[in-house]
Amino acid sequence: MYSEKIKKEYERWCEKAEDADVAAELKSIVEDKDAQEDAFYRDLEFGTGGLRGVLGAGTNRMNVYTVAKASQGLADYVCKHDPEGKRSIAISRDSRIKSEDFAKIAAGVFAANGIRTYIYKELMPTPCASYAIRALSCSAGIMVTASHNPSKYNGYKVYGPDGCQITTEGAEEVLAEIEKLDIFDDVKRIDFEEGLASGMISYIDDKVYTDFTEEVKAQSVLYGDEIDKNVSIVYTPLNGSGLKPVLRALKESGYTNITVVKEQEHPDGNFPTCPYPNPEIKEAMALGMEYAAKCNADLLLATDPDSDRVGIAVRDDKGIAGNKGEYVLLTGNETGILLLDYICSQRKKHDKMPEDPVLIKTIVTIDMADRIAADYGVRTINVLTGFKFIGEQILMLEQKGHEDSYIFGFEESYGYLSGSYVRDKDAVDGAFMICEMFAYYKTRGIGLLDKLNELYTKYGHCLNKTYSYEFDGSAGFEKMQDIMNDMRKGVSVIGPKKVLKSLDYAEGLDGLPKSNVLKYLLEDNCSVVVRPSGTEPKLKFYISVSADSKEACAAVSDEIKLALEKYL
């Protein structure tokens, strides 16, 4: 509700905000109490995903002031934990509106606090941020991005010295530092150019990017096997940061028959042809699929704006999916199990499997992966939703001297990583490995849909579907909490399936950190996970169904979805 506190904070911003865009927006809502309330009813939430929110004026928005305040909090955290003279932070950014401004403002804050700051000369993907942190032995790092969100969003991911997004404990410490600060009076800043001139800010050497590319190419599991790399590929970076790194890795490895979707080739934070630039969404892939059909391409690749997620479509040459000659989008789970099986089979074939091979996946990722891994003698570690928890497990392996045990990690939301050179999902690596896998099978007369069917025949049909429901503003936030509380009261049946066991991760479970997540284990190897997004105003349902056929899976999944929606 609109309050005197909100009114006073709005008026303070009107008095103190000097940024032209912020000032203009504040002026435009002078008579709009609802807009003032939404902009000031809370501070933009800082968590393990850093910051993410709608661009605009106010404490609940992404703007130069909220970014500078978060940067000051991070600077104070780094200064507490790292000895003087060794403090440094690496920065990367994607193509979003204000990303360059936010990156430079953050750099100016860090430099003003005596922290050496390294920043890429041009936009670079999220995995390049993770890589630079480790390569330059930094205390922390940030990636300015809102990942796959619509153009009205931007965000700010924070990384630790291991190149992994900060953990819950780290995020709480940074948040505590942020909360001590007044957004206007307590932030130290110098101009970006001044920082460059003084040497406190410097551009990241091109060698770091080259070394990253070499690490991606080193993930190949061909081990001398011959493949035809002249497969026809259509690629779209969805107006994001993937264009140069993805094309470089592929072309240097011999994949040259690549057509780029012209309308989505160059960086553009407005995303004019894909309002929701997420390769999980069919609409975002539509233009790429048109290109693929025109080119008669074998494979379509799409990376999201910060190039940590990759989606694909393949031509249905044999009518396996029912539409011969048309392109079929694969889910993140389907691509994940295909990559897992390919990597495992190649390692086994060439005697390259480590002593204790490990797959790391999230609790909402397809259960079939566990069965495939077990078949190859690979141990599965299941973690909470978020690739940071996969990165955390890689660090634990590294600390025990078993980093080489990690052979693959993935999550259902199109995130993959086949090596430990970075600690976040990597669409450059994902695109590279997908192209290699595709070419390997095509050279042997096998399509990815053939291979997928083979896996379903061997391990049983499994369908995983994710549904997101938006709850904007303060009322929406409260509604999400009410739904979670309602479901915590007890659920005995969901659709046609009885609940065998309820798992509540709110107080921590199975050694995992506390998280506002509910999981229901249903009869017949089915399950449901319910959780509010940590970075968006959304409630998500993850439905996993096992059945005798694809059709039976779909029918049961639909019934479960309808039953869950009654809680909304």
Closest residue by Cα to residue 119 from 193, 217, 52: 193
- H or E stretch including 463? strand 461-470
The answer to whether 48 and 165 have CB atoms below 8 angstroms apart is: yes
Whole-angstrom Cα distance, residue 13 to residue 381? 47
Encoded tokens for 145: 């991005």
Whole-angstrom Cα distance, residue 244 to residue 68? 29
Encoded tokens for 202: 């410097």
Q: 501 by DSSP, 3-state: which?
A: strand
For 148-202, give the secondary structure using H, E and C.
CCCCCEEEEEEECCCCCECCHHHHHHHHHHHHCCCCCCCCCCCCHHHHHHHCCEE
- H or E stretch including 436? helix 427-443
Q: What is the CA 275 to chain-centroid distance, rounded?
A: 18
Q: What is the dihedral of CA 271, 165, 364, 490, to 10 degrees?
A: -110
Closest residue by Cα to residue 308 from 437, 232, 422: 422
Q: What is the dihedral of CA 312, 317, 323, 328, to 10 degrees?
A: 0
Whole-angstrom Cα distance, residue 369 to residue 334? 10
The answer to whether 154 and 451 have CB atoms below 8 angstroms apart is: no
Closest residue by Cα to residue 427 from 285, 250, 205, 261: 250
Q: What is the dihedral of CA 398, 404, 405, 409, to 10 degrees?
A: 90
The answer to whether 319 and 347 have CB atoms below 8 angstroms apart is: no
What CA–CA distances, in Å, run from 492 to 39, 499, 547, 563? 40, 5, 21, 12
Encoded tokens for 488: 């915590």
Is the torsion defined by CA of 21, 23, 24, 26 positive or negative?
positive
Angle of CA points 424, 47, 141, to nearest 5°:
45
Whole-angstrom Cα distance, residue 549 to residue 560? 17
Encoded tokens for 459: 């391990």
Tell me if residue 147 is catalytic. yes
Give φ, ψ of 19 to 5 degrees: -60, 130
Whole-angstrom Cα distance, residue 566 to residue 568? 5
Active-site residue identified among 71, 139, 147, 405: 147
| Phi-psi label, residue 490: left if phi above 0, alpha if psi -120 to 50, beta otherwise | left
The number of C-alpha atoms within 13 Å of 497 and in the hemisphere containing its C-beta is 29
Longest distance between any two alpha carbons in the chain, whole Å: 71
What's the DSSP call for residue 506?
G
What residues are labeled active site? 147
